[in-house]
Amino acid sequence: MNIIFENDDFLVVDKPSGQVVNRSETTAGETLQDKLSKYFKLAPGDLGIGGRAGIVHRLDRETSGLLVIAKTQKVFELLQEEFKSRIVTKEYVALVHGFFGEKSGTIKSRIARIGKFGKFGILKDREVGGREAETEYKTISNFKLQISNFEKIIVAQGYNRSRVRYLDQHALDYTLLRVFPKTGRTHQIRVHFKSIGHPVVSDLIYTPSKLIKFDLLWCGRLFLHSRRLCFFGPKPKKTFDFKSDLPNDLKHAMLSLTTSH
């Protein structure tokens, strides 16, 4: 468990991709909650602060980056209220398919569980239910997959002409984004960018099947990282601002790209 900061009130961890945050009956392997239970030396059956070892918010299994953990019930409730009131600054880095014409934008929609297999989607205006979700974004830079890497993959996989034409249209252009979710819905960032035709690279759930297999050959996991958390601490009530560098696996994936002007 990578703890980057700790005081009497909370600690901040940098979660690796692949680690589940909250334990459940269906979860295999050690979760972050399990690790925290050991760290806090909780007795068997003691779920700790908030009934989940102080975990205030969560990240998807595939997403890496920053999480804040409360060490007292008072701080747990305070931080939960800050998240609920949308005064916490959350910033992610995401690499998505395609180029953006605008430098910044906002996606607003209602998100709900759609069908089976834990997928979420956007509800149409006439559909009832769902929860309002809002995501702001700013472009960092546009990139292209290096032609040498593209051709190497095409040859190695033995793709037919139809697949090559599809990939030539959909698997060469990318945009690196700073993403600021104003709400905290499950899969929010992933669903929102899928809804506007720019799925996150290597998203096993929301990237089209023809693309995901190609993505994984040069980027082995979801390209989504929680890089910044900024919130108010309880005593003294001052601002805490934490940042996390892009993990090495995502830095390595970026080597397959070249800047597009």
Tell me which residues are annotated as active site. Answer: 60
| Beta-bridge partners for 173 | 144
| Residue 260 contacts residue 147 (beta carbons within 8 Å) | no
- Does the N-terminal peptide bond of residue 181 adopt cis geometry, omega within 30 degrees of 0? no
As a whole number of angstroms, the distance between CA 258 and CA 167 comes to: 17
Closest CA relative to residue 204, chosen from 14, 21, 60: 60
Can you say how many angstroms the Cα of residue 115 is from the centroid of all Cα atoms in its chain? 22
Write the DSSP assignment of the chain as a string of letters.
--EEEE-SSEEEEEEPTT--SS--TT--S--HHHHHHHHTTPPTT---GGGTTTB-S---TT-EEEEEEESSHHHHHHHHHHHHTT-SEEEEEEEEES--SSSEEEEEEEEEE-SSTT-EEEPPTTS---EEEEEEEEEEEEEEE-HHHHHHHHHHHT--HHHHHHHHHHSSEEEEEEEEESS--TTHHHHHHHHTT-PBTT-TTTS-HHHHHHHHHH--S--EEEEEEEEE-SSS--EEEEE-PPPHHHHHHHTTEEE--
